[in-house]
Amino acid sequence: MRSRLIVSLRLFLYILLIGVEFNYVLPTIVLAAPAQGVQTTQEDNEVNVHLRAVHQPGTPPLSEIYWTVYVQPDPKQNIRKRVARGGGDTPSYNLLPGEYLVEAKSVKGIAMATDRISVPSGTVSSGTVVEFEVLFPTEGDVELKAVHVPGGAKIKDVVWDIFDGMLSEIREPQLVVAGEKDQNIFRLLPGMYFARVRALNGQGVSSREILVKGGTRQSFEVVLPEEGEIVVAAFEGGSDLPLNHVYWRVYSLPISERNSPKEVAHSGEPRPHFRLLPGRYLLKAKSTESQQEIQKELEVRAGATVEEQIVFGEK
């Protein structure tokens, strides 16, 4: 019995010495720190949070909304950390208990709403669902149509820009929406705007005030001046082939002697087309090889096309 005790004691001391020599230590578990503004405990569980954007409390949720959820920023750092995002009428996110900032944006419009939510602490059971409603402003849809005459056919190849407020010489208008090619339907908050339309391939520009009403769809026409077109080409004496080393400039002729010509268009193509408002213009063609320059006065009429030829080398 005594011999067995001595052997066990020697074995224990041997194992202890080996552990000291090779620095064996107990494993350490490192837990990730919670996001700023979210406090957790061992009892905390993620909460399933449902978000709804509504015009009034208890009304059906809006579907065309994009959501972003941020952890409430530290007052000292004032830095927001995004923890969730997505779309849908009732999106759901699994969030730890804490304070959050919810941001809802209109997918097709300009409206936006924010709200602060407080996800319950760890006393709730896992899988608990909590719903939050965010009040969202009512927008109105506006359909815009560019025409040459009231009630006329819709003009294509135009682009719209929407500015806030009324036309004023005192205050510079602020751009609200920059439209894309042929986009003519906009979703806006109620209020006064002015819509500006411009021809993509010409000089025509026009605008008008529009009053947007929430929850409705309205149509407005904007009369855009009809343009004319000039087609030009340059040749050398005795040749039927257009020159491709010519640079073209078009200037509006001055209204008075005090005003100098203003360049309204230019091109380096062999046979350019210029869409211009009705009026008189000065056309300049310069050979990039001989540096010879020729100029002519032209008159543009609405809806008409004028072809003009320039011949270099003539005396």
**What number of CA atoms fall less than 13 Å from residue 22's CA on the CB side?**
7
Do 61 and 134 form a contact (C-beta atoms < 8 A)?
Answer: no
Specify if 13 maps to a domain: no
pLDDT at 208 over 60: yes
What tens digit of pLDDT does each residue of 68-114 get? 999 977 667 667 789 999 998 889 999 999 999 999 999 999 999 99
274 and 202 share one domain? no
pLDDT at 225 over 90: yes
235 and 271 share one domain? yes
Q: Is 256 helix (H, G, I), strand (E, B) or coil?
A: coil
Q: Which of 104, 135, 166 is the last residue of a domain?
A: 135
Specify if 200 maps to a domain: yes
CB-based contacts of 178: which residues, under 8 Å, 6+ apart?
161
Residue 247 identity (one-letter amino acid): Y
238 and 291 share one domain? yes
What CATH number does residue 240 fall under?
Answer: 2.60.40.10
154 and 114 share one domain? no
207 and 172 share one domain? yes
pLDDT number for residue 188 = 96
Residue 149 identity (one-letter amino acid): V
131 and 147 share one domain? no
pLDDT number for residue 147 = 96
Q: Which of 135, 160, 178 is the last residue of a domain?
A: 135
The lowest-confidence range among 40-49, 203-212, 228-237 is: 40-49
pLDDT number for residue 44 = 58
194 and 242 share one domain? no
Q: Is 207 helix (H, G, I), strand (E, B) or coil?
A: strand
Residue 40 identity (one-letter amino acid): T
For the chain, how many structural domains are there in total?
A: 3
124 and 186 share one domain? no
Specify if 40 maps to a domain: no
What CATH number does residue 160 fall under?
Answer: 2.60.40.1120
Calpha distance 95→34 (Å, rounded): 11
Do 16 and 24 form a contact (C-beta atoms < 8 A)?
Answer: no
130 and 53 share one domain? yes
Calpha distance 37→52 (Å, rounded): 23
Q: Which of 205, 223, 241 is the last residue of a domain?
A: 223
pLDDT number for residue 239 = 79
Which structural domain, as residue segments, surrounds residue 94? Answer: 47-135
How many helices (H) and strands (E) the chain has is answered by 1, 21
Average pLDDT over residues 155-171: 82
Most confident range, picked from 127-131, 257-261, 299-303: 299-303
219 and 144 share one domain? yes
